[in-house]
Structure 1
């Protein structure tokens, strides 16, 4: 219920600000979900030509694999279902992380992430499950990040006055709880996020805006408006650094947008300075000034040797 109220409040604020605010960025419709079972797309992973999404709370344990026609071409189901699945993150080829991290009432002692296989198939599995424990108290969270290089997971909480980024252990244990570590501040009302392929940046979205951060220092690189959506809760970065966006609702559109040029420029690697050319020795300067001395010593030694030979011959 709190999610709905936040969504309505955000939509009203968005509408109230459209007169003075700059126009929403251009976005293209990639597909429209055809599956009537996809009613609350709350997490998104772009996997090549396929997209993986999951419903918000109230659904069982399942994820949907959708091609670019909008048709569902595979599902993965499991039991028991999650309490409140809110996020997805890449988990290597043919798998995603499902974040059972939603907690509107802030009453859960711990949350769970599950590694779920996905593909163009309909399957029921028993996924590997890992318990995560916050170091302070319970939080509501809808954002799960997976670093593309190390695979380490990060949870970003959803709070009105600013969230928190928590890091999971680099190696998760399935046999005992895994304690999260607070590493940075996050934006307000974070609904989803994704790392960029370079592993040096990640993006976290809310209902109307998104923010790009640097990694591993967690500094803000830039913030920008998102296309207007009913209740945007899904974002994923494609291989070309394109952003894909989804929203709750049945038969909704999956959108694609490019990063604003100023944000893309701020993310560009800083060019390395050109090395200075190797110095050339000039006569009388630096190392080159030694050769007259060496030549003089050699000449002196030669003359001295010649004199000694003459004196020996005269004797």
Structure 2
């Protein structure tokens, strides 16, 4: 069956329009390193520790964390455990030689709880039985891909992957290995969040999605600003190195990890942010005053409704494509019958 040229053009255009609604304008960056390990095929999170970069594959992989030497991109250690996780999506620092692995993905919204594991990561291979902690959301099953560690206290921070805006949750100061640990909602962040990290100053954090990153103050979660990230096939990973530069990664075999410097105006704004008081807990959720959306530095021109439009396009356009394909098939069948 031959599909008419006009219909074929429309069918091809649909996925590109969907991608375009979430695509970033390209930004300057340099290649920090390229993953050389063919086993790293869906890098879904990044964390820096002890001169190494830790990463995990997306859902469907066995329980393992890769320790990568950023000087070469070579894997220099793998930590394994069992049983297999359900949907690993993130990794965050947990202290010298350790990372938190976030088994927190829930695309279908069916998990009553999620899990984080404390895993040793260093040079050399090992099999371990990691500490496991169950996390429970205050508002039911939630999909998330962002896990961060609050400097100083070491408390975990999770950001949901909401289309119209992420919800920021904080874990208890001490996790109980035997009972579910209830997360507390403390504010909002960028929509479709795929990873995030705190800056070394402990007063700021950055959360990314597939095309943009937003810098927020901590603990008030007031937005400093947002900016486009370099264009990548499926940008998901993010880490902040000791110099405050961003490392951003993407899924895919032999993918590049890029080093991105914050725009100068962001650095100036962050330097001017006053230090938090002795009370380091975020404000209660009902007193946080989140932005209506996330903007480029100081322009106020990218309101939240933009995310609403993008989300609707992501949902509606594929359906239109399917409907168009059905019409094409029906038309072709009728043409044959004639």
1:137 Cα deviation from its structure 2 partner: 1.0
Q: Which one has the largest radius of gyration?
A: 1
Report Cα offsets for 1:143-200 as digits up to 9, x if no partner.
0010121100011000111110011001100010000111101210000000001110
Could you say which residue in structure 1 is the equivalent of 2:35? 33
Matching of residues 189-204 of structure 1 within 5 Å: 189-204=192-207
Q: Using the TM superposition, give the Cα deviation of residue 228 of structure 1 relative to its aligned residue in structure 2, in angstroms.
A: 0.5
**1:245 aligned to 239, 244, 248, which one?**
248
Q: CA RMSD, aligned part only?
A: 1.7
| Aligned counterpart in structure 1 of residue 121 of structure 2, from 118, 121, 127 | 118
Aligned residue among 60, 63, 83 for 1:61: 63
1:220-231 → structure 2 map (5 Å cutoff)? 220-231=223-234
Cα deviation 1:62-96 (Å, max 9, x = unaligned): 01001020110000000011100000110000000
Q: CA deviation at 1:235?
A: 0.3
Structure 1 match to 2:54: 52
Q: Name 1:12's counterpart in structure 2.
A: 20
Unaligned regions of 5+ residues in structure 2, if any?
1-14, 276-338
**Ranges of 4+ aligned residues in structure 1 off by more than 4 Å:** 7-10
Q: Secondary structure at the match of 2:268?
A: helix
In 2, Cα distance between the equivalents of 1:8 and 1:254? 24
Pairwise mapping of residues 196-215 of structure 1 onto structure 2 (< 5 A)? 196-215=199-218
Number of positions where the alignment pairs a residue of Structure 1 with one of Structure 2: 260
Unaligned runs of 5+ in 1: 1-6, 19-23, 273-315
Pairing of 1:295-310 with structure 2 (within 5 A): none
Q: Distance in 1 between matches of 2:215 and 2:207?
A: 7
Tell me: CA distance 1:151–1:261, structure 2 relative to 1, closer, same or farther (3 Å): same
1:252-308 per-position Cα deviation (integer Å, ceiling 9, x unaligned):
001101001111111013589xxxxxxxxxxxxxxxxxxxxxxxxxxxxxxxxxxxx
> For the structure 1 residues 132 and 9, does the alpha-carbon distance in structure 2 shift closer, same or farther, using more than 3 Å as the test?
farther
1:162 to 1:128, Cα distance in 2 relative to 1, 3 A:
same
- Give me the whole-angstrom Cα distance separating, in 2, the residues matched to 1:200 and 1:138: 29
**Inter-CA distance 12–152: structure 2 relative to 1 (3 Å threshold):** same
Compute the TM-score of the two structures, normalised by the length of structure 2.
0.74
Contact 2:165 2:192 in 1 (8 A): yes
Give 1:11 deviation, angstroms: 3.5
The answer to whether the 8 Å contact 2:50/2:96 transfers is no
Between 1 and 2, higher relative CO (CA 8 Å, sep ≥ 6) is seen in: 2
Q: 1:10 to 1:227 in 2, by over 3 A?
A: farther
Superposed CA deviations along residues 21-53 of structure 1, whole A, max 9, x for unmatched, are xxx221111111111100000010022431100
Matched ranges for 1:120-269 at <5 A: 120-269=123-272
Question: Contact 1:164/1:182 (CA < 8 Å) preserved in 2?
Answer: yes
